[in-house]
Structure 1
Amino acid sequence: MGRWEPNARGRLEQAALELYVERGYEQTTVAEIAKRAGLTERTFFRHYADKREVLFGGSDTLRDHLVNAVAAAPDSAAPIDAIAGAVEGVGVLFDERHERARQRQAVIALNAELRERELIKLASLSAALADTLRRRGVPDPAASLAAEAGIAVFKIAFERWISGPGEPGLSQLVRESFDALKAVTAGT
C-alpha cells in the first residue's frame, strides 16, 4: 500500500463500479475492488458489509434529504405536494452524476440480487416518507398513498433521466412526472 489518501469510501465506490462494468458484478471480488482503489480488504469492510452495498452507499443520505424536506414543508402543504417538493429537491443531488447513475443502474439491471436490493431501498424510502407524513398529522391511508406515489414518480423520472442525455435534469423530469400523475388522477 502506498501512503494514505483521502476519500476511501469514494474510491471504493468508483473502483467497484468500474470493475462491475468491466467484468460483471458476479465476477468481481472484494479483494479486486480494494486493490483497484489502492486499499486493503479490511478497509473495504470498514465501509461496507459486502460488495453489493457499494452500489447503495448513498441510500441513507438520500433518505435523510427526502425526510428532512418533507418535515420542513409548510404546514399548509398537501401531503402529495410535500412529497413532490422533497423528491424534486433531491434531483440536484444526482444531476452531476448522470454517467455514474447510468452505469450503476445498468449493473443493477443485470443482477436479480441487486434489483431486489434496489426495490428494498425504494420501499424503505417510501416507509420513511410515510412515517414523516404521519408525524405531520397526515392519517393513513393518505400518508402511505402519497409516499408510495412519490417514490413511483421518482422511479419513473429517474429511469427517464438515466436513459437520456442528462438534460433536462432529474428535478425537471420529476416535476413533469408529478404533473402527469396529477393529470391522470384528475381524469384529464
Structure 2
Amino acid sequence: MPRSGKEARERLENAALELFAVRGFDAVTTAEIAALAGVTERTFFRHFPDKREVLFDGERRLTGWVTEALASVPAGVAPWPTMRRTVDLLVPPLEANREGGERLAAIAAATPALQERAAAKEAHLIALIAELLIARDVTPEEASLVARTCWGALAHAIGSWRAAPGTSLQPHVDRAFDLLEGLLSGASPGSHTGAA
C-alpha cells in the first residue's frame, strides 16, 4: 500500500495511463485503476472526482510550472520577451515528463470526449497566463494575444518534438518562435537562418 497521499496519487495516475493505453479509456473502470495502483476505489475518489481527471491532473503541475516560471522573469520585461523566457523555463519539466505527456496525447486523440476536456483545460491555462500578465500591468488585450500566441507556438513545438523521437524539445521551441518572428517580420520561411 502507498505510504502517502502523494504516492497514492502518483500510482493512480500511472495505473490509469497504463490501463487506458492498453484497453482504451472507455473500457477501464475506476475500480480497475485502483486495483492496479494497490489502493481501494474509495481512495481513488478521495483523489479524483472521475477517471477523466486522472488524465488531466498534470494540468495542476503545469499550472505550477507556468506560474513559477513567469514569476521568475523580472517585472520590467516586456510581455513578449517575458513569455518567451517563460516558455524556455518550461522546457526542462516538459522534457522530464515526455513519456507521460505522449501517453496522454495518444489516449486523448483516441477518445473524442477527452479531446473536449483537453481543449477546455488548455483554454483555462491560456486564461491563467493572461491573468498573470495583466497582474504585471499588461493590458488585457495584449495579455490575451501574447498568451494565446506563445502557447500556440509552444503547442506547435511540442507536436514537432513528439513527431521526432530522440530529439530534445528546446530546438523545436526555438524553431517555432523563429518561424513566428519571420512571419511577423515579413521574411520568407528560412530567410532568417542566415541565408543571404
- TM-score normalised over the length of structure 1: 0.92
Q: Which has the higher contact order (CA 8 A, sep 6+)?
A: 1
Provide the secondary structure at the position in 2 that maps to 1:28: coil
For residue 89 of structure 1, report the CA deviation from its aligned partner: 1.0
Offset at residue 11 of structure 1 (A) = 0.7
- CA deviations 1:43-89 (Å, max 9, x no partner) are 11111111001111121221122123223312332211111111221
Aligned AA (2:186): G
SS state at 1:147 partner: helix
Equivalence for 1:117: 117
Structure 2, gaps ≥5 residues long: 188-196
Percent identity, please: 38
Give the letter for the 1:187 counterpart. G
Q: CA RMSD in A?
A: 1.5
In 2, distance between residues paired with 1:102 and 1:4? 26
| Paired position in structure 1 for 2:136 | 136
For residues 34-45 of structure 1, the aligned pairs below 5 Å read 34-45=34-45
CA distance in 2, matches of 1:4, 1:16: 16
- For structure 1, the residue ranges without an aligned partner over 5 or more in a row are none
Please list every run of at least 4 consecutive aligned residues from structure 1 whose deviation after the TM superposition is greater than 6 angstroms.
Answer: none
CA separation in 1, counterparts of 2:116 and 2:166? 25
Is the Cα–Cα contact under 8 Å of residues 79 and 146 in structure 1 kept in the other structure?
A: yes
What does residue 184 of structure 1 align with? Answer: 183
Aligned pair count?
185
Distance (Å, rounded) in 1 between the aligned partners of 2:154 and 2:48: 26
How far did residue 98 of structure 1 move?
Answer: 2.2
Q: TM-score of the superposition, structure 2-length normalised?
A: 0.88
Query: Retained in 1: the 8 A contact 2:161–2:169?
Result: yes
